[in-house]
């Protein structure tokens, strides 16, 4: 049975990729065949092999099944802006059925698939649909990443409330330190622990070049494993 997880965040640049890599590393060490999936990625680099996104490459490197780049990131977008705007500018309509096909493909070769979203929970992917619409369609369990910085309490509670309203399996949250020196980050963490009614799966400190170092020790995936 393949286990799927969707990683969303309170905002962009708050640590979704770091958390996803940490989950992939922890899964690998626990004996799972793990694959990362970032279906939509904006801000891609032009390379001799085509458009490439740094976050998607990190997920690929932390997967332990043989996959190619297009399997990890079927929608690479060049502009470093909101995916809907980038896809519109580049004339690349994001088809939700293609996202589902990619998910199914990875699920056929891995038994632990971690999907990293883009931006926050309600990030638009088209004129009439958001990323969350696809997550609901696929009934994916959700993990929330919170960047411990000013504004995170409000952002986290609003996002958690929106996820709860969908009825999806809301497995827990991961705290990440996106800034080297975030004033009173420990107080933010304590405040959120008191207010979020889902398990805290781990706390990731600020680490320079974090996606290139071991991260699995900062998470407790046994909390996730009990759901399956």
Angle (CA) 166 7 124, round 5°: 65
Name which of 128, 165, 172, 150 is nearest 8 in CA terms: 172
Helix (H, G, I), strand (E, B) or coil at 137: helix
Query: Given this model, what pLDDT does residue 92 score?
Result: 93
Say which of 38, 180, 194, 208 is annotated catalytic.
38
Rounded-to-integer distance, Cα 52 and Cα 76, Å: 7
Helix (H, G, I), strand (E, B) or coil at 197: coil
What's this model's pTM, rounded to 2 decimal places?
0.96
Q: Is 38 a catalytic residue?
A: yes
Helix (H, G, I), strand (E, B) or coil at 166: helix
**78 with 47: CB under 8 angstroms?**
no
Please state the residue numbers annotated as binding site for Mg(2+).
17, 55, 116
Please state the residue numbers annotated as binding site.
13-18, 42, 55, 116-119, 176-177, 205-207
Query: Given this model, what pLDDT does residue 185 score?
Result: 94
Query: Given this model, what pLDDT does residue 228 score?
Result: 62
Please state the residue numbers annotated as binding site for ATP.
13-18, 55, 116-119, 176-177, 205-207
Query: Given this model, what pLDDT does residue 227 score?
Result: 64
Please state the residue numbers annotated as binding site for substrate.
42
Domain boundaries, the chain: 3-225
**124 with 182: CB under 8 angstroms?**
no
- Write out the chain's pLDDT in tens, 228 residues: 899 999 999 999 999 999 999 999 999 999 999 999 999 999 999 999 999 999 999 999 999 999 999 999 999 999 999 999 999 999 999 999 999 999 999 999 999 999 999 999 999 999 999 999 999 999 999 999 999 999 999 999 999 999 999 999 999 999 999 998 888 999 999 999 999 999 999 999 998 877 778 899 999 888 787 766
Q: Which CATH number fits domain 3-225: 3.40.50.300, 3.30.750.24, 3.30.1370.100, 1.25.40.10?
A: 3.40.50.300
């Amino acid at each position: 049975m393949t286990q799927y997880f969707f990683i969303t965040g309170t905002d962009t640049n708050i640590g979704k990729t770091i958390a996803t890599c940490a989950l992939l590393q922890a899964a690998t060490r626990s004996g799972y065949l793990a694959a990362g999936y970032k279906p939509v990625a904006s801000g891609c680099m032009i390379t001799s092999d085509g458009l490439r996104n740094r976050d998607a490459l990190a997920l690929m490197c932390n997967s332990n099944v043989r996959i190619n780049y297009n399997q990890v990131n079927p929608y690479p977008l060049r502009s470093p802006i909101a995916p809907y705007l980038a896809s519109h500018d580049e004339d690349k309509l994001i088809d939700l059925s293609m996202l589902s096909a990619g998910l199914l493909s990875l699920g056929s070769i891995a038994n632990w698939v971690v999907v990293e979203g883009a931006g926050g929970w309600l990030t638009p992917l088209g004129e009439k649909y958001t990323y969350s619409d696809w997550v609901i369609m696929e009934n994916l369990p959700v993990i929330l990443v919170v960047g411990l910085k000013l504004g995170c309490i409000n952002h986290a509670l609003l996002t958690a409330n929106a996820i709860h309203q969908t009825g999806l399996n809301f497995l827990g949250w991961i705290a990440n330190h996106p800034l080297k020196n975030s004033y009173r980050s420990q107080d933010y963490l304590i405040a959120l622990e008191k207010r979020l009614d889902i398990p805290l799966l781990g706390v990731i400190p600020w680490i320079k070049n974090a996606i290139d170092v071991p991260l699995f020790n900062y998470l407790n995936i046994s909390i996730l494993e009990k759901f399956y």
